[in-house]
C-alpha cells in the first residue's frame, strides 16, 4: 500500500524559460518567486525550504537557505505558452499539441450562427468596436483575458439564474466550432448578469472578455469545466491508473480540467480548504494517486497582488508541513507548479517560467533531478511508481528516488 501525492502551486514559477524571449517576448524578465522575495525579503516558508525550495531556485534569500538533504529539480513547459489547462494535461502525461490562437472577433460570427442553429437565443454586445455574445439571457461568450490571449474563450454565467448544465451545453456547442486551446464554461452563485457586465475589459485593442476575479464568480457556488483541444484522456495517468485499479483523487482546479472518470474529483478554490481536504484524504486513504491544485496563487498573480500571493504561500507551507508526518515509508510527496504568474511583471497573464520539483520520501536525501524537459515527467514517474504502464509523454525519474 503506497501513495503518490502531487501538490501543484498554480502559477509558482522560478524564472523565465530559455525560449521565453522568442516565444513570449517580455516574459524573459519573469520570475514569480523572485518578485515575491524582492517584495518581502524577510519571508520564511520553513517546510518548502526544508523540501529544497531555495535549492531549486538556485540561490538563498535573507531568511531562507539551501537544504542539504533536499530532493529537488526544475521542469520546463513543453506546451505552447503558459497555460493551466495544458500544464495539467502535460503533468498527467499528454504530449502537447499546438492549438490555433485566434481572437474571439475572428470567430464571433461563426459561433453566433452555430448557437442559433442549436436553438439558443443570441445577443451581440459591442464595446470599442469589439463584439462578444450574450446567450440565453445570462451566458457571456467572449475571450479569456486572464490567460494567454487568443488561446481560450470563456462562457461565464451567474448560476442563480441559469443552471451550470445549461451553460455547459452552450460551451460544448462553442467547442464544436472553435479551434482555440480551451472553451471554459464557469460561474458562481451570489452574482448577477450586471456583475459580469461590469467586469468587462478590453486587452490590446482586439480582445474583449469578462475579468474572472472581478466578476465575483469564484466567491461562492463556483462550478467550472474546461473543454480542451487535442487532449486524449486515455493516455494520461489518471485513466491508466484507474484502469489498473489504482485509486485516483483530484482536488481543486485539477478536478475541473483533468478527466478522472473512474476516480474521485472534488472542485474547490480556497487554499486552506483544498489542502485540508488533501490532508484528510491522506489520513484515510492508504493507497493511490492524489493530485491537488492550489488555484488561489494563480488568482493572486492575475490580480497582480504580491502580498496576497505571499499569504497564500504561507498557508500552503503550513499545510504541507502537516502532510509530511502523515507519510509512510513508501509514500512520495511532490510539490510543483504548472507555469509562472509573476505579480510584478506589469500584466495579468501567465508567464513562461521553469517550475520547481520538490520531492519528499522517507530515507531518500540529496537527490538532484536536474532540469526536466517536460512536466510529463511527473505523470511518467507516477505511473512507474505504481508499476502500471506509461503515459503518452514523459521520462520517469523514479529510479533516482529508490
3-class SS of residue 255: helix
- Cα atoms in the 13 Å half-sphere on the side-chain side of 395: 9
CA–CA dist 281, 40 (Å, integer): 33
Show the cell assigned to 96: 502537447
- Give pLDDT, residue 229: 81
CA–CA distances in Å: residue 220 to residues 56, 145, 188, 278 = 36, 21, 6, 20
Q: Nearest Cα to 350, choosing from 80, 4, 18, 162?
A: 80
Residue 153's H or E segment, with its range, is: strand 152-158
Cβ distance 182 to 152 under 8 Å?
A: yes
CA–CA dist 248, 263 (Å, integer): 5
Cβ distance 292 to 260 under 8 Å?
A: no
- Give pLDDT, residue 300: 97
- Give pLDDT, residue 232: 87
CA–CA dist 343, 36 (Å, integer): 8
- Give pLDDT, residue 226: 87
What predicted TM-score, i.e. pTM, was given to this entire model?
0.79
- Rounded to 5 degrees, φ, ψ at 29 are -100, 0
Residue ranges of the chain with per-residue pLDDT less than 70: none
Cβ distance 258 to 399 under 8 Å?
A: no
CA–CA dist 131, 108 (Å, integer): 7
Amino acid at each position: 500500500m503506497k501513495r503518490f501525492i502531487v501538490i501543484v502551486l498554480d502559477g509558482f514559477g522560478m524564472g523565465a524559460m530559455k525560449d521565453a524571449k522568442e516565444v513570449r517576448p517580455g516574459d524573459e524578465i519573469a520570475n514569480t518567486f523572485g518578485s515575491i522575495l524582492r517584495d518581502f525579503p524577510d519571508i520564511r516558508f520553513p517546510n518548502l525550504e526544508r523540501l529544497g525550495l531555495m535549492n531549486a531556485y538556485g540561490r538563498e534569500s535573507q531568511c531562507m537557505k539551501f537544504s542539504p538533504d533536499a530532493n529537488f529539480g526544475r521542469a520546463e513547459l513543453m506546451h505552447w505558452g503558459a497555460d493551466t489547462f495544458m500544464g495539467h494535461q502535460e503533468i498527467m502525461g499528454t504530449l502537447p499539441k499546438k492549438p490555433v490562437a485566434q481572437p474571439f472577433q475572428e470567430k464571433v460570427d461563426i459561433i453566433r450562427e452555430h448557437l442559433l442553429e442549436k436553438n439558443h437565443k443570441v445577443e451581440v454586445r459591442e464595446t470599442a468596436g469589439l463584439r462578444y455574445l450574450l446567450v440565453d439571457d445570462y451566458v457571456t461568450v467572449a475571450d479569456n483575458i486572464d490567460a494567454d490571449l487568443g488561446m481560450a474563450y470563456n462562457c461565464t454565467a451567474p448560476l442563480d439564474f441559469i443552471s451550470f448544465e445549461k451553460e455547459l451545453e452552450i460551451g460544448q456547442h462553442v467547442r464544436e466550432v472553435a479551434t482555440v486551446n480551451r472553451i471554459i464554461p464557469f460561474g458562481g452563485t451570489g452574482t448577477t448578469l450586471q456583475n459580469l457586465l461590469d467586469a468587462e475589459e478590453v486587452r490590446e485593442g482586439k480582445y474583449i472578455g469578462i475579468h474572472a476575479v472581478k466578476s465575483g464568480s469564484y466567491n461562492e457556488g463556483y462550478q467550472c469545466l474546461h473543454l480542451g483541444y487535442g487532449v486524449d484522456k486515455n493516455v494520461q495517468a489518471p485513466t491508466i491508473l484507474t484502469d489498473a485499479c489504482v485509486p485516483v483523487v483530484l482536488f481543486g482546479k485539477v478536478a475541473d480540467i483533468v478527466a478522472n472518470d473512474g476516480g474521485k474529483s472534488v472542485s474547490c478554490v480556497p487554499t486552506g480548504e483544498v489542502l485540508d481536504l488533501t490532508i484528510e484524504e491522506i489520513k484515510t486513504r492508504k493507497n493511490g494517486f492524489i493530485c491537488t491544485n492550489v488555484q488561489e496563487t494563480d488568482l493572486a498573480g492575475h490580480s497582480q497582488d504580491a502580498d496576497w500571493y505571499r499569504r497564500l504561500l504561507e498557508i500552503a507551507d503550513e499545510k504541507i508541513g502537516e502532510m509530511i508526518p502523515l507519510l509512510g515509508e513508501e509514500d512520495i510527496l511532490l510539490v510543483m507548479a504548472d507555469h509562472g504568474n509573476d505579480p510584478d511583471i506589469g500584466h495579468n497573464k501567465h508567464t513562461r517560467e521553469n517550475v520547481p520539483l520538490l520531492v519528499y520520501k522517507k530515507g531518500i536525501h540529496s537527490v538532484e533531478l536536474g532540469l526536466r524537459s517536460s512536466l510529463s515527467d511527473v505523470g511518467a514517474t507516477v505511473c512507474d511508481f505504481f508499476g502500471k504502464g506509461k503515459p503518452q509523454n514523459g521520462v520517469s525519474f523514479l529510479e533516482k528516488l529508490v
